[in-house]
Amino acid sequence: MKRAMGACLPLIPLCVLVLAWESSTRLGWVASNLLPAPSAVLVRLAQLLPQAEFLFHVQQTLIRLLGGFAIALVFGVTLGLLASRVAGGVLETVIRVLAPVPKIAFYPAFVLIFGYDHASKIALVVADAIFPILLATFHGARTVEPKLVWSARAAGTGRIATLYRVVLPATLPAILTGCRISLLIACVTVFLAEMISSTDGLGHLLSLAARSFQMVDMFVPLVLISSIGLLLNITLQYTRKHLLRGQS
């Protein structure tokens, strides 16, 4: 009982905010064409969700989001693990140059090179999402207890095998932390890319609604992408618990 109370307590400020928002539009303090009531947004979302066309846009966004994240994950972890053993200084310098650069500025270049379809958006997601994973893996792998590596090597495990049998599991907590940041970045990036130039996807839906001043339709994709971000984050936390169940 007490635990349930504790879980509900953080929701109170949120509920108060949503109620205040709802009542201020209901009571006419704010024009509903400028700020739609949260209930109106949710009703519209419920109307749109069964529609095939809307689902197609959601699917396009998810393909880019998850595709980009998966590529960033594979490359980030591989590069980070390798660089923790050889040429770490080079990678660190490359990161130092590229990390503070606003990747969104490269988007026009990606569009010119990869075209307007999936590839340019995925490229931008990869460019943005790879850095947290890469950094986390690199720093995590460098601080792995050396005795573990020595023992594995002494027991006859090869260099490469040591990397993915010993270093990778030991780096897993750090990698998962990097993933958490990257996933959020990927969500935001894919949405912005679709808003800037696209013909489909959730971001495009927002731009489309903005052109015809449909406030409710503008909020729907925004609420949806934020919920996708939250959901993915929660999924990741459960995965983390499952993967790290042996560790404290």
Residues between 7 and 46 that touch other proteins (CB under 8 A): 9-11, 13-14, 17, 34-35
Residues between 115 and 134 that touch other proteins (CB under 8 A): 128, 131-132, 134
For tokens 């846009």, the residue is: 57
User: Does 6 contact other proteins by CB under 8 A?
Assistant: no
User: Does 102 contact other proteins by CB under 8 A?
Assistant: yes
What's the rounded Cα separation, in Å, for the pair 87 and 242?
Answer: 33
Question: Tokens representing 179?
Answer: 């993933």
> Residues 24, 30: contact at Cβ < 8 Å?
yes
Residues between 47 and 86 that touch other proteins (CB under 8 A): none
DSSP string spanning 77-138?
A: HHHHHHHHHS-HHHHHHHHHHHTTS-GGGGHHHHHHHH-SSHHHHHHHHHHHHHHHHHHHHH
In the complex, minimum distance from the CB of residue 156 to other proteins, in angstroms, rounded to a whole number? 25
> Residues 193, 203: contact at Cβ < 8 Å?
yes
- Region of 19-27, 44-52, 148-156, 224-232 interacting with other proteins (CB under 8 A): 224-232
In the complex, minimum distance from the CB of residue 244 to other proteins, in angstroms, rounded to a whole number? 20
> Residues 57, 202: contact at Cβ < 8 Å?
yes
The one among 75, 106, 119, 169 contacting other proteins by CB under 8 A: 106
User: Judged by CB, which is closer to other proteins: 54, or 138?
Assistant: 138
Other CB atoms closer than 10 Å to residue 101's CB: what's the count?
11
What's the rounded Cα separation, in Å, for the pair 143 and 220?
Answer: 44
- Region of 42-50, 63-71, 148-156, 228-236 interacting with other proteins (CB under 8 A): 228-236
CA nearest neighbour of 40 among 64, 18, 8: 18
- Region of 41-49, 65-73, 199-207, 238-246 interacting with other proteins (CB under 8 A): 199-207
For the chain, what is the total number of helices (H) and then of strands (E)?
Answer: 12, 0
User: Judged by CB, which is closer to other proteins: 161, or 234?
Assistant: 234
Residues between 155 and 184 that touch other proteins (CB under 8 A): 181, 184
User: Does 236 contact other proteins by CB under 8 A?
Assistant: no
The one among 20, 160, 210, 244 contacting other proteins by CB under 8 A: 210
15: which residues sit within 8 A by CB, 6+ positions away? none
In the complex, minimum distance from the CB of residue 173 to other proteins, in angstroms, rounded to a whole number? 14
Q: How far lies 168's CA from each of 78, 88, 126, 181, in Å?
A: 10, 16, 21, 19
Binding residues (CB under 8 A) for other proteins: these are 9-11, 13-14, 17, 34-35, 88-90, 92-97, 99-109, 111-113, 128, 131-132, 134-135, 139, 181, 184-185, 187-189, 191-192, 195-196, 203, 206-207, 210, 213, 215, 218-219, 222, 225-226, 229-230, 233
